[in-house]
Structure 1
């Protein structure tokens, strides 16, 4: 048997062959190679969040290591003579670490499975898809919705893909932004630079013209704690018990250009239902939540936990699609996922 090579280039190339064998030391070395760009991403996000070139380069490195990493894991499974389906356990939280540790310490077993079966070919294809998604991650970012300010269009538990390429935003766009305290939140642009915005009786007046609203069937949800923060929804139909139907008045609001979207109203005569006139400075946005009575947005100053006027530089990007959605405290509870919302367009 040939002595294992530790040439990094040869080790990398061998990872694309899913039918060979990998020793413990080779697997440990390649896992170390894979960890480097991931640690770099963690550092970049914490210390250099606006360094787009570095982020793009690091995601490229991550994408280039996805397929060979899985290849070396499978080659190690071959080495200890286990069936390839064992790697499915890598998708189970916490158990994945146990699997890796076993692969690093286990001796040889009783079977050899070197052939590229249909199951392994499918795995290779899925790994290539995952590598492509990693390659595109420099241009979009997932955001988890933890509060109810954007109901009914974004629900608690939605995970939304936000594009980071476009630098142009307009009225009606749902965007992610960084508040003055650094927290990332979402809202809908109502006013752009040069606009005037005012709320009267809960209705939006844009440039001295009232936006039309048409009432439709109420928005309904179950009265129960929502999301990881376990927030309790508020209802138009009063105080309802746990498990009962919580309703909110729902309207279709239309912008001057004809773009329409749904908004909610819970209470009348709220302090935020009547405001002064806001004049949006150049290169700023007036951004509000669609759940109007449950949103601290541009109607409130940053000093009182609102957005204030949002500068263009604080907008991260526009929300495009819901990647997946779950109803419960954890995304790992797949039985609580909402299949109908997977890849749904954000409007």
Structure 2
């Protein structure tokens, strides 16, 4: 009389394990679809966008707002391992709107095989130049207001005193930049003319950013090479400590930088 009951129990347990497995697989598939088409997390390993995005910041980027380009379906890298890097055979973006000046963009420079993140400074057809540390767009100097000073530390631990400014684009949008001085190598440049269908990118940490001012390394970025628009920070930890080291959180997590929009 007990044998049928035992079989019933075994079948029930097997069924529960299968249901759990299906739920896990479904959750993973949903996460992959969301990351593939809608939102992708990224982390910041360098100082080029400080203080907007600090070393050790984690943020989510919107992949659909500008539509999809050549590198939209790369799932990123983990250390030296590339999870997925699929290049679409297209020459123009699919769907979405055009970016705005001042948007913070994840993109793939033409000479590189990795993602960069910078601010869109120049639109197609713009003339961009740096003179004595000041940004000029189409011959007009961009307004900036000094906020104060702070210490900037790069990924090698090199600390420098910097001046922090609020910079305001002609369209009225503002953001924070910082300068070690107004006489660094990239503070005086020739005039760049942004080609049609391209954008000119600059880091907010002006003297510690290799960006479109360095034509051989980044240069003009084709619209089709844009990947996503940075939207919001969701985690931040000092010294680029791996977030899975939970025991390090109390002394190192920057709680005041979490769950904030990226401007």
TM-score, normalising length: structure 1: 0.58
Deviation at 1:136, TM superposition (A): 3.4
Q: How many residues align?
A: 219
Greater length-normalized contact order (CA 8 Å, ≥ 6 residues apart): 2
Which residue number corresponds to residue 300 of structure 1?
A: 214
The answer to whether the Cα contact below 8 Å between 2:129 and 2:192 also exists between their aligned partners in 1 is yes
The structure with more helix, counted as a fraction of residues: 1
Which residue number corresponds to residue 103 of structure 1?
A: none
The answer to whether the Cα contact below 8 Å between 1:175 and 1:315 also exists between their aligned partners in 2 is yes
> CA–CA distance in 1 between the matches of 2:128 and 2:196?
14
Give the alignment of 1:201-240 within 5 angstroms.
Answer: 201-220=132-151, 230-235=155-160
TM-score, normalising length: structure 2: 0.75
Q: What residue ranges of structure 1 are gaps of 5+ in the alignment?
A: 16-29, 38-59, 65-132, 236-246
Kindly indicate whether residue 173 of structure 2 is the aligned counterpart of residue 275 of structure 1.
no
Cα deviations by residue, 1:282-321 (Å, 9 ceiling, x for unpaired)? 111000000000000000023xxx3100011111111010
Which residue number corresponds to residue 174 of structure 2?
A: 260
> CA–CA distance in 1 between the matches of 2:145 and 2:173?
13
Correspondent of 1:137 among 31, 35, 43: 35
Question: 1:2 is paired with a residue of what secondary structure?
Answer: helix
Cα deviations by residue, 1:46-79 (Å, 9 ceiling, x for unpaired)? xxxxxxxxxxxxxx66156xxxxxxxxxxxxxxx
Which residue number corresponds to residue 89 of structure 1?
A: none
> CA–CA distance in 2 between the matches of 1:174 and 1:266?
22
Deviation at 1:13, TM superposition (A): 6.8
Cα deviations by residue, 1:141-192 (Å, 9 ceiling, x for unpaired)? 1111000000111100001111101112111001111122211111000011
CA RMSD of aligned residues (A): 2.6
Question: 1:152 is paired with a residue of what secondary structure?
Answer: coil
Cα deviations by residue, 1:246-276 (Å, 9 ceiling, x for unpaired)? x310111110011011111102322211111
> CA–CA distance in 2 between the matches of 1:135 and 1:176?
19
Which residue number corresponds to residue 249 of structure 2?
A: 334
Q: What residue ranges of structure 2 are gaps of 5+ in the alignment?
A: 1-5, 67-97
Structure 1 12/151 Cα, relative in aligned 2: closer, same or farther at 3 Å? same
Deviation at 1:220, TM superposition (A): 3.5
Kindly indicate whether residue 246 of structure 2 is the aligned counterpart of residue 316 of structure 1.
no
> CA–CA distance in 2 between the matches of 1:277 and 1:261?
23
Kindly indicate whether residue 107 of structure 2 is the aligned counterpart of residue 177 of structure 1.
yes
> CA–CA distance in 2 between the matches of 1:275 and 1:213?
18
> CA–CA distance in 1 between the matches of 2:65 and 2:17?
35
Give the alignment of 1:1-347 within 5 angstroms.
Answer: 1-2=6-7, 4-5=10-11, 14-15=19-20, 30=21, 62-63=28-29, 136-138=34-36, 139-167=38-66, 168-179=98-109, 180-220=111-151, 230-235=155-160, 247-302=161-216, 306-328=217-239, 329-331=241-243, 332=245, 333-335=248-250, 336-347=252-263
Which residue number corresponds to residue 117 of structure 1?
A: none
The answer to whether the Cα contact below 8 Å between 1:161 and 1:321 also exists between their aligned partners in 2 is yes
